[in-house]
Chain A
Amino acid sequence: MKHLDEYRDADTARRLAGSIAREANTARRYRLMEFCGGHTHAIFRYGLGDLLPANIEMVHGPGCPVCVLPTGRLDMAIRLAQRDGVMLASYGDMLRVPGSQGQSLMKAKADGADIRMVYSTLDALKLAAANPDREVIFFAIGFETTTPPTALAVEAAAKAQLANFSVFCNHVLTPSAIAAILEAPAVRELGAVEIDGFLGPAHVSVVIGSQPYEFFAEEYRKPVAISGFEPIDILQSILMLVRQLNEGRAEVENQYIRAVTRDGNLRAKQAVSRVFELRRDFEWRGLGHIPYSALRLKDEFATFDAERRFDEPYIASEGNKACACPAILRGAKKPTDCRLFGRACTPETPLGSCMVSSEGACAAYYSYGRMRERAQ
Chain B
Amino acid sequence: MKIVALTGPDTAKVSLGGIVKEVSIALIDDPKVGDYVVLHVGYALAKIDEVEAERTLVLLAAEGADAIAEFSAAAEAVLAPP
Contacts and interface: CB of A to CB of B under 8 A. Distances in A.
B27 A258 contact: no
Contact of A18 (B17, B23, B57, B67): B67
Interface in A242-271: 255, 257-260, 265, 267-268, 271
Interface string A9-29: 000100110110010000000
Contacts of A3: 36, 48, 53
Contact of B41 (A146, A257, A268): A146
Interface stretch (A68-76, A118-126, A217-225, A277-285): A118-126
A259 B46 contact: yes
Size class of the A contact interface (CB-based, 8 Å): 35 or more
A6 interface: yes
Given A2-B2, A258-B48, A259-B48, A152 B27 contact: yes
Interface in B22-67: 23-24, 26-29, 36, 38, 40-43, 45-50, 52-53, 55-57, 59-61, 63-65, 67
Contacts of A12: 60-61, 63
Say whether chain B's binding surface is mostly helix, strand, loop, or mixed: mixed
A268 B40 contact: no
Nearest to B68: A15
Nearest to A18: B64
A149 B46 contact: no
Contacts of B40: 145-146, 149, 203
B41 A91 contact: yes
B12 to A, nearest CB: 13
Nearest to A151: B27
Interface string B2-16: 100000000000001
Best-buried of B2, B24, B42, B64 by chain A (most CB within 10 Å): B64
Interface residues of B, number: 34
Contacts of B49: 257-259
B18 to A, nearest CB: 9
A149 B42 contact: yes
Contacts of A236: 56, 59-60, 63
A207 B45 contact: yes
B42 A257 contact: no
A16 B64 contact: yes
A148 interface: yes
A19 B64 contact: yes
A170 to B, nearest CB: 14
B41 A121 contact: yes
B60 A203 contact: no
Contacts of B68: 15, 18
A22 B56 CA distance: 21
26 contacts: A2-B2, A3-B36, A6-B57, A6-B60, A12-B61, A15-B64, A16-B63, A18-B68, A19-B67, A91-B41, A119-B41, A120-B42, A142-B41, A146-B40, A149-B24, A152-B26, A152-B27, A203-B38, A236-B63, A255-B56, A257-B56, A258-B48, A265-B46, A267-B28, A268-B27, A271-B27
**7 A-B pairs with the lowest CB-CB distances in the bound complex, closest first:** A120-B42, A15-B64, A258-B53, A257-B52, A258-B52, A206-B46, A149-B43
Interface of A: 1-3, 6, 12, 15-16, 18-19, 22, 91, 119-123, 142, 145-146, 148-149, 152, 203, 206-207, 232, 236, 239, 255, 257-260, 265, 267-268, 271
